[in-house]
Amino acid sequence: MIVALAAAGVGIGLAIVTVGILQRVKERDDELAFILQLPFGEKDVPVEAVTESRALLERTVGLATEGLEHFNAMARVSAELERARLPLRPGEFVLVAVGGGVGLGLVVWLLTNQLLLGGLSCIAGPFLAWTFVRFRVSRRRKAFEAQLPEALALIASSLQAGHTALRSVQAMVEESEPPLSEEFARVVAETALGDPLVDALERLAERLDIPDLAWVVQAIRIQQTVGGKLADLLFTLSEFMRARQEIRREVQVLTAEGRMSAWVLGGLPVLVFFAVKTISPDYMEPMLRMPGILALGGAGLSIAAGVGIIMKMVRIDI
């Protein structure tokens, strides 16, 4: 009961702080809107006064960005955020991940009254945030790959109807759904700025890291060199990608049992450990002292190795 009341109190406190911050932001926006409506020069305001609320945040983001650059992770984090289509800068993502980890650790600590679980949850927060980014990238990549054969067929049909390559891509963007329409809309925007269509497609393939799209770009470049009908080439690539996707789906079905076994065998010991630690803390006390810590470490390594071996066995590249 006390733990529940404490958790509720923390939640209410965080809600009050959030409402206060939002209210302050709204007041500053209203003040700025009032100033902008005044005649020119009637009430001049220094730029520093308008942007002071963002100064601390920008300095913190700058420190997080410098930390990423120090560990040579800036390029990777930026690329993954771009692939995930998340409107965050790398430094902002670090702050959100760390803040989320601290919040998760406090909630777990208050709910379980276990400082160890709270500390582990706090450490796991940034890893969970990075896992979410990777999951979003994977989901967008799979959705893009599923839409790509139909998109190529639509472009080929437009080419056969007499449209240019750029106009065919624009028509495909108008008819398609995200994420394919979003990514190819960027290609159209780059061509509008004077970039060749093939170069924009090549950057798209590099940005999304999709082998099928890279093959399409390479085939188009070869076709421009040796000549031939681009529509027929795109139709052939579309049929080839459909066949590969069908094989991928069959492999996913055949290896589903192995993947599920890996997740269950890897997650069950961890779940049982935390459940026993929460329900009966004294029962697990010997495992939290030497040599119990060595036994837990060895068990963790063996679980990780087993899960890795199983996932390696069921991973088949096509």
* Structure confidence by residue, pLDDT tens digits, 161-193: 888 888 999 999 998 898 999 999 999 999 999
Does residue 2 carry a pLDDT above 50? no
Provide the number of structural domains found in the chain.
3
Mean pLDDT, rounded, of the chain: 81
Q: Is the dihedral of CA 19, 25, 28, 29 positive or negative?
A: negative
Co-location of 75 and 14 in the same domain: yes
For the CA atoms of 174, 175, 176, 178, the dihedral, rounded to the nearest 10 degrees, stands at 50
**1: pLDDT confidence band, cut at 50, 70 and 90?**
very low
Task: Report how far residue 13's alpha carbon sits from residue 287's, in angstroms, rounded to the nearest whole number.
Answer: 36
Task: Report how far residue 98's alpha carbon sits from residue 95's, in angstroms, rounded to the nearest whole number.
Answer: 5
Q: Per-residue pLDDT tens for 87-127?
A: 888 888 888 888 888 888 888 888 777 777 788 888 888 89
Q: Which two tokens stand for residue 116?
A: 């160890």
Co-location of 241 and 259 in the same domain: no
Q: Per-residue pLDDT tens for 305-316?
A: 999 999 999 888
Q: Which two tokens stand for residue 164?
A: 């240019």
- pLDDT at res. 95: 84
Co-location of 149 and 243 in the same domain: yes
Range of the domain at 244: 140-249
- pLDDT at res. 4: 45
Tallying the residues shown for the chain, one arrives at 318
- Does the global pTM surpass 0.95? no
- pLDDT at res. 29: 61
CA distances to 121, 170, 274, 283, 303 from 293, rounded to whole Å, are: 18, 61, 15, 14, 15
CATH assignment at residue 166: 1.20.81.30
**209: pLDDT confidence band, cut at 50, 70 and 90?**
confident
**151: pLDDT confidence band, cut at 50, 70 and 90?**
very high
Task: Report how far residue 249's alpha carbon sits from residue 89's, in angstroms, rounded to the nearest whole number.
Answer: 35
Burial of 163 (0-12, 13-18, 19+ CB in 10 A): middle
Residue that has been written with the tokens 């020069």 in this structure? 41
Q: What is the mean pLDDT of residues 202-230?
A: 87
Question: Side chain identity at 237, as an amino acid letter?
Answer: L
Co-location of 239 and 298 in the same domain: no
